[in-house]
Amino acid sequence: MESIAQNPWAALAYLVAGVCFILALRGLSSPATSQRGNRAGMIGMTIAVVTTLATHVPRIAPHCPTGAICENYGTPVLDTLTLVELLAAIGIGAAIGIVTARRIAMTAMPQLVAAFHSLVGLAAVLVAGAAFLNPGAFGIASDGVIFLQSRIEMGLGVAIGAITFSGSVIAFLKLNGNMGGKPILLPGRHVINLGMLAAILGLIAYFTQDQSPWIFWTVTALSFAIGFLLIIPIGGADMPVVVSMLNSYSGWAAAAMGFTLHNSAMIITGALVGSSGAILSYIMCRAMNRSFLSVIAGGFGGDAGGGASGAAAVDRPWKRGSAEDAAFLMSQAEQVIIVPGYGMAVAQAQHVLREMADKLKAHGVRVKYAIHPVAGRMPGHMNVLLAEANVPYDEVFELEDINSEFAQTDVAFVIGANDVTNPAAKTDKSSPIYGMPILDVEKAKTVLFIKRSMGGVGYAGVDNEVFYRDNTMMLLADAKKMVEEIVKSLD
């Protein structure tokens, strides 16, 4: 195996790959440049993979003929069998990724991201386990004794990787509907979590002095367990933050394993993913008025008393409208603000929604889109869907940029967004979404709210006061079918 220090070309290639990854993050910061960012990321990863294969695939010396002088005989060549095995593994993984990407629906993208995070965490655990069992093959030991710095890297890597894996599995189950969105609050969870975290850190410190197998595998087992315990108490309303947080964890796990593998590309990539994920999680916590420490500690300090959750209060008076009513109101308006949510994603209504907006603009109506930071099930979910439907970027506004306009807006058209428009976040201290900034749709002259039925509630399990207000008209139907009917009426 050729070290990077012996091959300056490999170091240069990894540097170029790192620059590509930075450009990828820069491009992904805006929907307008996201495709360019994706291309930069793919180019960087291709360079990193090819360089790793070229420098890390073992080389073997040609067989020395019997009776010949074999000192410095021949030039070592790549171990072809090993290279074929690696390429086969890459091919299988690529095939699975391509098939998954083509088949997965946008509504399932959040749980797909959580599943991918779990695989990154599991890969970190497997690499750490392999390095512990055979440190000589990784160049991190002398006479069977693992170097001190390698023990630190290995301990942190396996701990972060195991937490990422088990936490991502719980996030996947919650997002996929296999587990309820409500927090599962275990008695004494704070004491248990803090005790396990202290035990993990203490064992990692002990591992630096004693490389006994029981220490390494105990750290691994405790880390798997605390990953489950950290995510179970987090409710559905906070799942976008959890996805972002797990993304950060997966980056730090990859960086730790990069040190173990002496691979600078993994270190750079992991550090970029870890730091950007942490920054995004912090920004989203501020947007939701959540404590960053509270979320990463598994809802630390959360009230177990529940909140204003439960079934919708369907016995209250509410006003029902039709597609024709909605079409008439919006065609006569000066400005319509569209608020997309998870219901739009489920119905795959983004394309027909854009068609409706185009027809409204043809009627002289000014149309804007209002995006809440945590609308959907992952950061940027609504932005991706609207970009897929070719909605102009200059018509899409974030909460802080458009919230003040609702009071001067004729119609707020809410399509499948419940929690992010719920005034309980401002008025009900017992509500699980209390303190979260919301889109002030109730201030518009008329609110048109598309919902499948009055019997359901949002992902946080909270009924929405806006449904029962005098200026609200409920449009009960599948979001895509309702918008299609509105488009026909506009014609």
pLDDT tens-digit readout, 212-236:
999 999 999 999 999 888 888 876 6
pLDDT band at 86 (very low <50, low <70, confident <90, very high): confident
Residue 214 falls inside a structural domain: yes
Annotated active-site residue 419? The verdict is yes
Whole domain around residue 371: which residue ranges? 323-490
Q: What is the dihedral of CA 157, 160, 165, 167, to 10 degrees?
A: 180
111 and 174: one domain? Answer: yes
Residue-level pLDDT at 107: 67
Residue-level pLDDT at 304: 39
pLDDT score of 124 more than 80: yes
Residue 261 falls inside a structural domain: yes
Mean pLDDT, rounded, for 149-178? 88
Residue-level pLDDT at 4: 47
338 and 232: one domain? Answer: no
List the beta bridge partners of residue 371: 398
Residue-level pLDDT at 306: 40
Residue 480 falls inside a structural domain: yes
223 and 340: one domain? Answer: no
Residue-level pLDDT at 356: 95
57: its two tokens: 């695939």
Which comes out higher in pLDDT, residue 260 or 370? 370
Q: What angle do CA 348, 417, 335 make, to 5 degrees?
A: 90
329 and 461: one domain? Answer: yes
Residue-level pLDDT at 373: 81
Number of domains into which the chain is organized: 2
Residue-level pLDDT at 84: 84
Ordered DSSP codes for 323-382: HHHHHHHHHT-SEEEEEE-HHHHHHT-HHHHHHHHHHHHHTT-EEEEEE-TT-SSSTTHH
Alpha carbons 372 and 420: distance in angstroms, whole number:
7
Neighbours of 50 (CB within 10 A): 12
Residue-level pLDDT at 5: 46
Residue-level pLDDT at 205: 94
Residue 85 falls inside a structural domain: no
Alpha carbons 311 and 245: distance in angstroms, whole number:
30
Alpha carbons 173 and 24: distance in angstroms, whole number:
30
Identify the helix (H) or strand (E) that includes residue 135. Answer: helix 135-138
Cα 422 to chain centroid distance, Å, stands at 24
Residue-level pLDDT at 297: 62
Neighbours of 418 (CB within 10 A): 24
pLDDT tens digits, 314-328: 467 889 999 999 999
Residue 12 falls inside a structural domain: no
133 and 170: one domain? Answer: yes
193 and 150: one domain? Answer: yes
Residue-level pLDDT at 412: 95
Find the radius of gyration of the CA atoms of the chain: 27
Query: Active site residue: 79, 210, 303, 419, which one?
Result: 419
pLDDT score of 409 more than 60: yes
Residue-level pLDDT at 312: 45
Residue 270 falls inside a structural domain: yes
Residue-level pLDDT at 65: 58
Mean pLDDT, rounded, for 252-276? 86
pLDDT band at 305 (very low <50, low <70, confident <90, very high): very low
339 and 253: one domain? Answer: no
Cα 127 to chain centroid distance, Å, stands at 23
Of the chain, the percentage scoring pLDDT greater than 90 comes to: 32
pLDDT score of 462 more than 90: no
Residue 101 falls inside a structural domain: no
List the beta bridge partners of residue 13: none
E strands along 72-135, which residues?
A: 77-78
Alpha carbons 13 and 46: distance in angstroms, whole number:
10
Neighbours of 103 (CB within 10 A): 8
Which of 276, 305, 334 finishes a domain?
305
Residue 368 falls inside a structural domain: yes
Phi, psi of 104 (to 5 degrees): -70, 135
Alpha carbons 364 and 379: distance in angstroms, whole number:
33
